[in-house]
Structure 1
Amino acid sequence: MIRSMTAYATVERQIEGGSLSAELRAVNHRFLELGLRLPDELRALEPALRERVSARIGRGKLDLVLRLRAAEGEGGLHLNQAMVDELAQLNLGLTSRFPGLRTSLTELLQYPGVLRSRGIDPEMLQAAALELLDALLDQFVAAREREGSKLAEAIAERVDGIEAHAAEARELIPLIRTGQRQKLEARLADLAQPADPGRLEQELVLSLQKLDVDEELDRLGSHIKEIRRVLKQDAAVGRRLDFLLQEFNREANTLGSKSVDVRTTNIAVELKVLIDQIREQVQNLE
């Protein structure tokens, strides 16, 4: 199923000694970019978290936040005495070189690893975090698919519009050719000197060849079939659709440049409007 790149999901679980929550949000991005904010107790899990996210998500700028809260009455936080002793030794060595060096209690407590949650088993915590991430990704992917389904419907509706305009142009072209032929013949008939019949036919052929957009309309029909096929795929299709839109735009530009009638000119303009609307939707797809 087609997925949007924008989504948001959050989950929370009670664990022994507290609670663990996770939040994931995403916006559009050409590639996958993941930002992480983790409690100190889970920093070692960062590579595994990144691997699990990249296995489920293809594109987007993602922000993943995990929060650990100790349960009331569980003793809260405790001081990592070994780290404090190590920092104290470092301070003694630096004091002689930097006499004005001062460190506040708040700065000391904010140093990573100085404070730890009491009573939470590290292995249990990491397992719970991975399980929580899987649940979060399930919600996140489901949200992307719901939004992607809406985007696909909007794109399909505009593709139908492109097809209708292309069919209208195909019906108009023979009428426009006939009209152009009649205009050219009328102008030549007004000449003081009669035109050579062979020359007249050659000029008519050259004039009508410039109006020939059958190939452009055929290619446009092929692109319509392809975009509908891509919209049914269960994969990341954003880049493929973006490429197809370049082809759509090329055919619309050619139709406009060859137009000698306000009706086909208007059709070319409407095609470009619909193509731009599709491009706006495609920018949101994974």
Structure 2
Amino acid sequence: MAVYSMTGYASAQHSTAAHEAGAAAPARRLGLEIRAVNSRFLDLAFRLPDELRAHEPALRELLTAELKRGKVEVRATIESEDAAGLADPAPRLLQRLNSLQDGIRAWLPSAAPLSVAEVLRLSAAGQSGGENWGKAVQTLAAKVVQELLAARQREGARLVAMLADRLGQLRALAEQAAPLVPQLVEQQRQRFLERWAEAMALADGATLPEAAQDRALTEATAFAIRIDVAEEITRLASHLDEIERLLDKGGEIGKRLDFLIQELHREANTLGSKSAALELTRISVDMKVLIEQMREQVQNLE
């Protein structure tokens, strides 16, 4: 299955003509665009002109069926395509507006007269009143949603490639750390015993009691266990395997990957805190840099 990003953009336009009383009106253009960014859930927002408000439920149903997560904004516009950008008001409509204005001002003398802008707006609304945008909106919306899905799939493929690259780098760092673990444990154990022996040698040549030797060995072993990071490296490798499996499987993996990234960061942080060598500290820092890069990108996956 494909992996989809929550980020994407798509737009399309459709030209049509409105009719009023059998007379052809200037052609009009319907534009629809969809923008999507990452979000924990599916969050839909619509910016529609009044003529298209009735189609919002159908658009919402279409998007809900195709998208699972993301903050999605749907914006639609209706514009005139004639050269002047505005249609000439029909004389009959102007007469009707004038008659209505006179009737209203007869009852409300203080009412303000219509402005030119208001007349043009009412004229445009009158010309488009008989137009049915339903089929055009549905057809255009289906097209834009498919383009959005294609864009999100391309972005998802790019993110998967980046994550696979970071997985390879993390595996390489883990392989560098693995041979250091037994060496560091043994070094720390020997160093502890040597210092204990030196301390006993300063005790006026007294013989080191057997119980004291056993105590030293026990404490050295306990210290070696505390700095042993083999378990962290094993768990880290297990998390890397699971992330790789999810990327190969595809689908809605964003939330699971986000959880696994948190676990990766926990293991890398523990590796650094238990480190008894500069080389292991460097490896831990490099791991955390890579994991943070992965976290930023995983936030965009659906």
Same fold flag (TM > 0.5)? yes
State the distance in 1 between where 2:153 and 2:38 align.
Answer: 15
- The 1-side partners of 2:173 and 2:104 are apart by 76
- What residue is the counterpart of 1:13 in the other structure? 14
Kindly report which structure 2 residues correspond to 1:95-134, keeping only aligned pairs within 5 A, or say none: 95=108, 99=110, 104-107=115-118, 110=121, 115-118=125-128, 121-122=131-132, 125-134=133-142
Change (3 A) 1:162 1:222: same
Name the larger-Rg structure. 2
Counterpart CA distance in 2 for 1:200 and 1:178 is 14
Residue ranges of structure 2 left out of the alignment (5+ in a row): 19-26
CA distance in 1, matches of 2:155, 2:40: 18
Kindly indicate whether the alpha-carbon contact (under 8 Å) linking 1:213 and 1:255 is maintained by their aligned counterparts in 2. Answer: yes
The equivalent of 2:274 in structure 1 is: 258
Contact 1:216 1:254 in 2 (8 A): yes
> Could you say if the C-alpha distance between residues 272 and 89 of structure 1 is closer, same or farther in structure 2, counting changes exceeding 3 Å?
farther
Cα distance change, pair 91–222 in 1 and its aligned pair in 2 (3 A)? farther
Change (3 A) 1:89 1:216: farther
TM-score, scaled relative to structure 2: 0.80
Equivalents in 2 of 1:45, 1:84: separation in Å?
A: 29
- Equivalent residues of 1:49, 1:130 under 8 A apart: yes
Alignment of 1:73-88 (within 5 A): 76=87
Report whether the alignment pairs 1:23 with 2:37. no
Indicate whether 1:54 and 2:55 are aligned: no
- Mark the CA change 1:95 to 1:186 in structure 2 (over 3 Å): closer, same or farther: farther
Alpha-carbon offset, residue 132 of structure 1: 1.0
How far apart, CA to CA, are the structure 2 residues paired with 1:171 and 1:110? 77
Alpha-carbon distance in structure 2 between the residues aligned to 1:227 and 1:144: 20
Give the Cα–Cα distance (whole angstroms) in 2 for the partners of residues 275 and 77 of structure 1. Answer: 62
TM-score (normalised: structure 1): 0.84
Deviates more, 1:140-149 or 1:228-237: 228-237
Establish whether residue 182 from structure 1 lines up as the match of residue 181 from structure 2. no
Q: CA RMSD in A?
A: 3.2
Which residue of structure 2 lines up, in the alignment, with residue 3 of structure 1? 4
Q: Percent identity of the aligned residues?
A: 38
Partner of 2:148: 140
8 Å CA contact 1:11–1:23 kept in 2: the answer is yes
C-alpha change, 1:236 and 1:29, in structure 2 (3 Å) is same
1:43-78 deviation line (CA, Å, top 9, x unaligned): 1101111111121122222222223345549x9587
